[in-house]
Amino acid sequence: MDSSAANVSYKRNEKKILNKTNVMLYLMILPPLLLYYVFHYIPMPGIMLAFQRYGISGFKYWVGVENFQYIFGTPFFWRAFRNNWVFVFFSYAFVTPAPILFALLLNEIRVKWYKKTVQTISTLPNFVTWVVIAGIFIQLLSPSRGYVNYIVQFFGGEPIYFLSKPALFPWLFTFMRIWKGVGYSSIIYLAALAGVDPQLYEAAVIDGAGRLRQTWHVTLPGIRNTIVVLIVLSFSHVLSGLFEPIFVLKNAYIESTAEILDTYIFELGITRGKYYLATAIGLFKSTISMMLLFFANFLSKRVTEDGRSIL
Amino acid sequence: MLKRSLGEKVFNVFNLIGFFLFTLLMLIPITFVIKTSLDVSPVGELQLSLLPQEPSLLFYRLVIQDESVWRPFMNSIIVTVLGTSFSMLINALGAYTLSKKELPGSRFFIYFLIIIPMLFGGGIVPSYLLIRALGLIDTLPVLFVPNMASGWNMILIRNYYWSIPQSLGESARIDGAQEFTVFFKIILPLSKPVLSAIALFTGVGYWNTFMAAVLYIRDSRKYTFPVKLRELIILGGDSEKNFEEMMMQLGLDPAEHYLTIEGLSSAMMIVSMVPIVLIYPYLQKYFAKGIMVGSIKG
């Protein structure tokens, strides 16, 4: 075969979408596509359950918005809804700023091995499951053998059942979240801090700025973008991500402050089999999440330098 | 040249002390659990000691010998090994397809794998009903098959493939190599850093499998380690009786040894942390390497 003819047939082959190369490439991505189809796409229409009920013999019939009217009429739903937003508040008030503060302070430490040791120790709990973290704190706060109650008793108090007190729960939970996550979350800020141009500090020193003013005028502006982007990105999942820790820590005494939408959906849907009501709450929650996602996307375009969007 | 004011010196000292106390705050809870796991003394007065009063490895013996404890441990290992291997294979292959910008349909894949799933989902009830209909309740594969494919990980791996010089694949292709060969012989060996980083994080995720097991596993023989642990921590009081039976079966006299649920669950917590601590130095290597930054940039 002469070479030009071979060339032509090669080109023709290139043009066809289903040439040998492309078919191979499609085969390579087939497993993820199939898995996504089965486990993400097939359940999607199941959201219709929110507008249905089961009849006596198991067939489904449409009830319109009746399920929503029902859940909006129950105090348990509103309790979970309110608690969810309380945790959102605690997230932004304490859990989000903690790693920023941690990184700023750690960045001031000039002793390298000290810095490294602190980081190594504080990052580890991030990889430990919430079940273990909860177990550690349940023991630590235990009235019969925990350290904390030893201190309480030492100062003349009676042992306290910390994890059975509704008013304390949001605070204790926030403490645990920071304890578990502060080291890991600070990594990205420390990386941003390392990227701040040292010349800026020198210039600030020449201008007579002390450490505090250097932090305010050089360090913080240097990591402002990272902070803003991370906060904006977090908007879309403020209502999720707490199922596991809450599920592990929740007990009958503290339900009034610990129950959130996700755990309520689980309780209603999986434990008690009220599929349609749980799905209605799920749809309500994901509608809010989706609105927050679009809001975050809109903000992200404005706050990032290159106008990058999330979607 | 470095002139420091008094204020700065004071700050530095306080900062160093502050971080020392912070480190203690991180370590004490863990040492407390280690102590509890080694202590077989009766619960008496509250004490502050860091050392067990009656040291013993009995709780660890229970973890190894009692089937209701070691079986969940084995299940977690199976889920971790199989889940991580399959997941890496599938995502590394899929990412290769995603890395071909000119391939017809590449935009569709991004929508199908990332954007649409991010926007719409059935929620846990429809997923639960699907898993039940598929007959996957109370099987181990349900703990890793549904989340084996990960669009985000594929994007991360794809971004790394993009950094590999195109010419490497081209020259192999001219020599007549097919895409599979190019992938396995050239791309895969060059992608070790990103693949090992993602494998480690995926592995930790599977090791900590809890939610899926709570949703889909009823049979205690199929429990994962964290689920068994939760049962002991939360329902500790209720299973006190079983605990005595457990000891009898191992030939231990409950009256002779003072064993507590706390001790056993502490030993389990330590055991479940051991693999994490072992791979931790490797995990740490990848923190800084932009894996996180990459995941945020998507």
Domain spans of chain B? 1-56, 66-298
pLDDT at B291 over 50: no
- Do both A218 and A73 map to the same domain? yes
Position B123 scores a pLDDT of 84
Give the pLDDT confidence score for residue B7 in this predicted structure. 81
Name the nearest CA neighbour of A190 among A284, A115, A278: A115
- A258-262, B48-52, B216-220 — which is least confidently predicted? B48-52
B143: which chain A residues are within 8 Å (Cβ-Cβ)? none
Residue A130 lies in a domain: yes
A36 shares contact with chain B (CB less than 8 Å): yes
Residue-wise pLDDT for B39-69, tens only, equals 877 766 667 777 888 888 888 988 888 888 8
The answer to whether residues A15 and A164 belong to one domain is no
Domain range B66-298, CATH architecture: Orthogonal Bundle (1.10)
Q: What is the arithmetic mean of pLDDT over B114-135?
A: 89
Q: Which of B24, B43, B46, B106 to mutate to test the interface with A (most CBs of A within 10 A)?
A: B46
Report the pLDDT value the prediction gives residue A110, as an integer from 0 to 100. 87
pLDDT > 60? residue B294: no
Q: Which residues in B lie closer than 8 A to residue A266 (C-beta atoms)?
A: 124, 215
pLDDT of residue A227 exceeding 50, the answer is: yes
Asked whether the beta carbons of A211 and A73 are under 8 A apart, the reply is no
- B10–chain A Cβ distance below 8 A for any pair: no
At residue A115, the pLDDT reads: 93
Instruction: Among A44, A61, A78, identify where a domain stops.
Output: A61
pLDDT tens digit sequence for A8-66: 444 555 567 778 888 999 999 999 999 999 999 999 999 999 998 887 777 888 888 99
- pLDDT value for A309: 65
Per-residue model confidence (pLDDT) at position A5: 46
pLDDT tier at B3 (50, 70, 90 boundaries)?
low
Task: Please indicate, yes or no, whether residues A134 and A251 belong to a single structural domain of this protein.
Answer: yes
Kindly determine whether residue B124 and residue A229, on different chains, have CB atoms separated by under 8 Å: no
Structural domains counted in chain A: 2
Question: A126 and A197, same structural domain?
Answer: yes
Domain check: are A136 and A257 in the same one? yes
pLDDT over 90 at A229, yes or no? no
Q: Are residues A180 and A47 in the same domain?
A: no
Which of A24, A127, A283 is opposite residue B283, by nearest beta carbon? A127
Residue finishing a domain among A61, A81, A106 = A61
Report the share of chain A in percent with pLDDT over 90: 52
For residue A115, the enclosing domain spans: 69-303
Same domain, yes or no: A47 and A152:
no
For residue A189, the domain's CATH number is 1.10.3720.10
Supply the pLDDT for residue B293. Answer: 38
Most confident of A73-87, B49-63, B106-120, B225-239: A73-87
pLDDT at position B86 is: 97
Single pTM value for the model: 0.89
List CB contacts (< 8 A) between B5 and chain A: 210
In a domain, A311, yes or no: no
- In a domain? residue A265: yes
Residue B246 in this model has a pLDDT that exceeds 90: no
In a domain, A310, yes or no: no
Q: pLDDT grade, residue B136 (50/70/90)?
A: very high
Mean of the per-residue pLDDT values for chain B?
Answer: 85
Q: Give yes or no for B47 touching A (CB within 8 A).
A: yes
Nearest to B262 among A139, A233, A286 (CB): A139
Establish if B235 touches chain A: CB-CB under 8 angstroms: no
- The answer to whether residue A143 sits within a structural domain is yes
Same domain, yes or no: A37 and A111: no
For residue A208, what are the contacts with CB-CB under 8 A and spacing of at least 6?
none
Task: Answer with the one of A61, A84, A101 that is the final residue of a domain.
Answer: A61
